[in-house]
Amino acid sequence: MSTAEIKQQLHNLIEKADSELLELAYSILSKSKGVLNLNQSQIEELEKRYAAHLENPSKGSSWEEVRERLSRSLSLQFKMN
């Protein structure tokens, strides 16, 4: 997929995105020097997910599995670095 096609796909996704997805995308794409500006509900969700992971680490997904689900879900092809 070309850079232009990726930009167009992202533009289309952003147009349809809800505020939570937009905040997540902004956090990922911004140059925040490693500091995330999370609200209280986002922090609580991360803590809940981390506790669930500690209880059953094998229930989680590998990065490759997540990448594949996102690729299918967003109709994008992620390049391996």
Q: What is the pLDDT of residues 50-76, one digit of tens each?
A: 899 889 988 888 888 888 888 888 765
Q: 32-69 b/e with 16+ CB inside 10 Å = b?
A: eeeeeeeeeeeeeeeeeeeeeeeeeeeeeeeeeeeeee
**What is the amino acid identity at position 15?**
E
Which pTM value belongs to this model?
Answer: 0.41
Supply the mean pLDDT for the chain. Answer: 79
